[in-house]
Structure 1
Amino acid sequence: MHKKFYAKLFGSALAPLAQGASEALGGMVGEKVVHYLKSHFQSSKRLSAILSDSYRKGLDTLEIAFRGPSFYHQKANKEFAAAFQAEVLQPFLFQSKMEEGPFREGVQKDLQFLRSLDLTPEEAFSADELAQTVGGFAVESASLWQEKMEESTESLVSFLKEKTPPPHYLASLLSYRNLLTEAISLHFSRAVEEDEFLFRHYFLCHAKGLDLRLKEIQKALEKSRTEKNRELFKKLNRQKALFEEVKTELEFGLRHISQEMQDAVSSFFSRSESHFGRLFTQLEELQETIVQEGAKTREELEAMKKMLDEIRQAISRIQKSKRISQKANLFSYFLGLSEEEKSALREIRSKAAQLPSSFLTPSLLRDLATLMTMAGDEREGRALFDQALSRAQELKEEKEEARIHYDRFISQLHQTPPNLSQALESYRKSLSFSPEVTKELEFFETWKYEALEILGVGGFGIAFLCRDRQLEEKVVIKAILDEFTDAERAIQEAKNIHNLRSSYMVQLKDYGYLEPYRKKRAYLIMEYFPGMDLEKWIEKKGAFSIERGLDLALAIAHAMETAHKKGILHRDLKPANILYRETEEGFEIKIIDFGLALKDERLLQNRSLQITLVSRRGLLEESLGGTLDYASPEQLGRIPAQIGPWSDIYSFGRTLKKIFFASLKPHGKIIRAFPKPELYDFICDCESDDPRHRPRNFQEVISK
């Protein structure tokens, strides 16, 4: 959107170039002119600097113009003040029914917004785009040329209305008279002398501007002679000679550009001279006065931009270390921030607070919100997400608005305690925009499945309860996070489990990739089993009776034996991965998440991360922390043994302890009072640190 704005803005300011190029090409229009201009735009060493300087000075000029009559009078600019007030401002205010004071302040704020875009012209568009836009003004009739200018103005007005809050002061003014193009063209006409090609073609159809510049040069020559400034005198003489050469060509008569067209071009661009020309020679002096009145100087602006760059670079360094790309991810939250990074973040936040709000883009605020949440300051994170959202809505940046909702969703999964209903609402909002905006934020095909609930988060990714829109049935979709889980292995093991056809296991219904060519962003579609996981059941109702607990243990063992016979390890067996519900006949269980353990189990062997998982209790940390509680010593890297069926048996033993005691560390009195001491001995055998002391397989477990 910014590229279109810059191209239209400079296209109209440089419009006289198109007519000059057409004359040089024998009256040609269209692609010939575009190609001719593009060739020079690509090779010009001065064009980007001239455009940048003209844009900056154009904004400076408008800022000064709307400072108010008292400001001009103080600086003896009564002539400008009277003319601008009578010919531009008062007629506009009368027509628009706006009040002068609020209007002046509103225009100043909108001009600050244009400064805050922080894009130089060479970044905003290519030579090709500029040539296409400028070349479009090479037309044969004055009326068509005028239409092109009006179209350009409408485009600028539309951009400003989208990006600035009502009542759109600057946009309204430009609809009345495009002072922005006029101000920029004024400064371009002065700077263009640095490039002979641009100069000749620009002034070839701009006789009034040419005459005015010759008068200015003559005055400057006389002043330089009086001040005995030899170098300036020589430079001005060279400029004068060049202007006179073009003037001679104009006086002789152009071959291909009609007088009507020349008059139309010259008349339009002479309007800027009639007002802003009075300010041109005193622009720097007036800017200095604004400094004295407390307004932001160009130097201050550059200092703020430098600070903004420092903030962005500092954020980028933290993001890189946490593997954050364009949007937040759970893995980044899992890694957390070091104390050094938290200290750097506090400094970043302090610097950001010193900048005007117009400098803080939605994406910058979003990144800050994510990092503050990762650092543990959830309150500040929420405030920054709100600020980012407000800014994105103000600027009508839909893509950024969607990303803010998405990153907030990820942060809400990390909150302590997590608010899954709020997280789901944020995720739904992130998907409420056009498909072009939301496609990178999806975890599954949302046109086919509607997310009803977030069931949980684990090492594999995020589990959603969904409605199949076509079959009108509930399914569970597990969105596999590439950062955590080997998607191909997870899908293969899910297919293997499906092929077992075990009543103890949730069946796979389908699977897919949102990026099939890269085999990235995978998801599994599973049958929905309306049970509660054993972790929550025990937390709610306490330990199971001996009789029910033994039946439950036997069912789990049968399920694991079936899987092990086919060479399938679970790797993350724990109460949270066993779904349970009671029925009239007794109970049903489903063991979930086979093969969905971390793809790099060395992560669990990292001692510092183990400590982190214990100290932080977000949803992901609770899941992975639970994995730590039930993982075998060989999985955690505490003993030099391979991972195998015995590893699942260890986790099974820990699970039994939870089932019978509702705790992994029951008090000695409770253990002594346990009515089945031989069962407790068996549990201890299963959870032995030495794999050789555990049962060899689940067949042996069942036989006992």
Structure 2
Amino acid sequence: MEIAFPVPGYTMLSVLGSGGFSTVYRALQESIGREVAVKIDHRILLDEADRARFRAEVRAAGQVSGHPNVIDIHDAGITVDGRAYLVMELCPAGSLADYLRQHGPLPPDRVLDIGVAIADALAAAHRYGVVHRDVKPANVLYDRYGHPELADFGLAARYDPTTESMSTLEVLTPAYAAPEMFWSRRPTPAVDVYGLSATLYALLSGRPPRWPLAEANPTDAEIAALHSAPIPGIEGVPDAVITVLRAGMAREPEKRLPTAGALRDALRAARDTVGNSTDRISDPGAPGADHDLADQPTARLPRLRPIVRGES
């Protein structure tokens, strides 16, 4: 017997991915014949207070989704059995985590393009009072036109009902999480500055900074030691780029670059330096490389400059 898809008005086409807290489906929006991604949380919203918090976070995430480098949220709701769901833009080209697994590190100019775009998206989110809290390569997707877009506003930043907006350790990705996320502090925009800086470092080096493995599950003592370790340079990456990323990953939040906008501007300045270099690495299969999307498989992405506010 076929089981009906739990979100009315959508037909499930396939499972895109599943983790400990949610499953993402490729689905058909029946009313207009559009393919979308539907993310359904595995956890149950137990009472009306939980549901109200979810709706408030979704409304904030919906405001942010108007930015050109943030995944569009088309709809949201709660299933009959009490699970939260989001209906989002489908990004068939996959994530930067997928690219890293398949191809390894990206060249500096591509990474800086991505960083400028996503930092601008975070700056817009912070203006709305929204902190992402889980910036990592798996949450940067490419749309069908080759634009990098930040995903997982909303369900990825699920609240802990016992502490209002305090984040819980269970939703963190330790390799990309700021140190204060392990200190039971209320998350601030500084955690996103750290997360994006760690993400860009991983795109350049092939692995997250300070971390032996992205999948590692260290103890509290090991986490403290890792966050105190120096951040090494990366062969072939200009010192100016590493300096910016180190400033974005300072252990103490108050010693980091102060805002996502400041990180964006510093990355833009570093990008200009790299752009003037005569020994830039060229990878025709890398996200942002020059070629025609129509002539390439989905995994190969065109060179389209990131669309960011304040830049012509």
Query: TM-score per shorter chain, which class?
Result: 0.5 to 0.7
Which residue pairs with 1:16 in the alignment?
none
Q: Is the 8 A contact 1:534 1:578 kept in 2?
A: yes
Give the 3 Å change call, closer, same or farther, for CA 521–547 of structure 1 in structure 2: same
SS at match of 1:671: coil
Alignment of 1:517-532 (within 5 A): 520-532=82-94
Which amino acid in the other structure matches residue 455 of structure 1? L
Which amino acid in the other structure matches residue 200 of structure 2? L
Which residue pairs with 1:645 in the alignment?
189
Which amino acid in the other structure matches residue 658 of structure 1? A
Inter-partner Cα distance in structure 1 for 2:76 and 2:186? 31
**1:444 matches 2:7:** yes
Alignment of 1:123-162 (within 5 A): none
Inter-partner Cα distance in structure 2 for 1:629 and 1:692? 20
Which residue pairs with 1:594 in the alignment?
153
Which residue pairs with 1:400 in the alignment?
none
Inter-partner Cα distance in structure 2 for 1:568 and 1:698? 12
Q: Is the 8 A contact 2:95 2:137 kept in 1?
A: yes
Q: How many residues align?
A: 237
Structure 1: gaps (5+ residues): 1-428, 432-437, 606-623
Residue in structure 2 matching 1:632, options 152, 172, 178:
178
SS at match of 1:515: coil
Inter-partner Cα distance in structure 2 for 1:459 and 1:653? 25
Relative contact order (alpha carbons < 8 A, sep ≥ 6): 1 or 2 greater?
Answer: 2
**1:654 matches 2:216:** no
Alignment of 1:227-626 (within 5 A): 431=3, 443-445=6-8, 448-458=9-19, 461-483=22-44, 487-500=51-64, 501-515=66-80, 520-580=82-142, 583=145, 587-596=146-155, 597-600=157-160, 603-604=168-169
Which amino acid in the other structure matches residue 474 of structure 1? E
Inter-partner Cα distance in structure 1 for 2:18 and 2:158? 13
Which amino acid in the other structure matches residue 12 of structure 2? A
Give the 3 Å change call, closer, same or farther, for CA 492–459 of structure 1 in structure 2: farther
Q: Is the 8 A contact 1:578 1:590 kept in 2?
A: yes
SS at match of 1:702: helix
Instruction: Tell me by how many angstroms 1:499 deviates.
Output: 2.7
Inter-partner Cα distance in structure 2 for 1:680 and 1:484? 42
SS at match of 1:477: strand
Q: Is the 8 A contact 1:632 1:647 kept in 2?
A: yes
**1:664 matches 2:208:** yes
Highest Rg: 1 or 2?
Answer: 1
Inter-partner Cα distance in structure 2 for 1:477 and 1:492? 19
The Cα offsets for residues 361-392 of structure 1, whole Å up to 9 and x where unpaired, read as: xxxxxxxxxxxxxxxxxxxxxxxxxxxxxxxx
The Cα offsets for residues 228-251 of structure 1, whole Å up to 9 and x where unpaired, read as: xxxxxxxxxxxxxxxxxxxxxxxx
Identity %: 26
Inter-partner Cα distance in structure 2 for 1:658 and 1:555? 17
Inter-partner Cα distance in structure 2 for 1:502 and 1:672? 32
Which residue pairs with 1:694 in the alignment?
256
Inter-partner Cα distance in structure 2 for 1:451 and 1:488? 27
Which amino acid in the other structure matches residue 649 of structure 1? V
SS at match of 2:147: strand
Give the 3 Å change call, closer, same or farther, for CA 514–497 of structure 1 in structure 2: closer
Q: Is the 8 A contact 1:602 1:636 kept in 2?
A: no
Give the 3 Å change call, closer, same or farther, for CA 540–582 of structure 1 in structure 2: farther
Which amino acid in the other structure matches residue 10 of structure 2? Y
SS at match of 1:635: helix
Instruction: Tell me by how many angstroms 1:568 deviates.
Output: 0.8
The Cα offsets for residues 187-211 of structure 1, whole Å up to 9 and x where unpaired, read as: xxxxxxxxxxxxxxxxxxxxxxxxx
SS at match of 2:79: strand
Q: Is the 8 A contact 2:143 2:149 kept in 1?
A: no
TM-score (norm 1): 0.31
Which residue pairs with 1:74 in the alignment?
none
The Cα offsets for residues 562-594 of structure 1, whole Å up to 9 and x where unpaired, read as: 1111111101111111102585xxx30121111
Q: Is the 8 A contact 1:468 1:474 kept in 2?
A: yes
Which amino acid in the other structure matches residue 67 of structure 2? S
Give the 3 Å change call, closer, same or farther, for CA 524–672 of structure 1 in structure 2: closer
**Runs ≥4 residues deviating over 6 A:** none
Q: Is the 8 A contact 1:459 1:484 kept in 2?
A: no
Alignment of 1:56-135 (within 5 A): none
Q: Is the 8 A contact 1:533 1:579 kept in 2?
A: yes
Inter-partner Cα distance in structure 2 for 1:525 and 1:594? 12
Which residue pairs with 2:246 in the alignment?
684
Q: Is the 8 A contact 1:578 1:592 kept in 2?
A: yes
Instruction: Tell me by how many angstroms 1:694 deviates.
Output: 0.8
Instruction: Tell me by how many angstroms 1:595 deviates.
Output: 2.8
Which residue pairs with 2:281 in the alignment?
none
SS at match of 2:159: coil
SS at match of 1:454: strand
SS at match of 2:237: coil
The Cα offsets for residues 144-171 of structure 1, whole Å up to 9 and x where unpaired, read as: xxxxxxxxxxxxxxxxxxxxxxxxxxxx
Q: Is the 8 A contact 2:111 2:204 kept in 1?
A: yes
The Cα offsets for residues 383-404 of structure 1, whole Å up to 9 and x where unpaired, read as: xxxxxxxxxxxxxxxxxxxxxx
Give the 3 Å change call, closer, same or farther, for CA 603–563 of structure 1 in structure 2: closer
Inter-partner Cα distance in structure 2 for 1:487 and 1:458? 22
Which amino acid in the other structure matches residue 683 of structure 1? L
Q: Is the 8 A contact 1:460 1:481 kept in 2?
A: yes
Give the 3 Å change call, closer, same or farther, for CA 582–450 of structure 1 in structure 2: closer
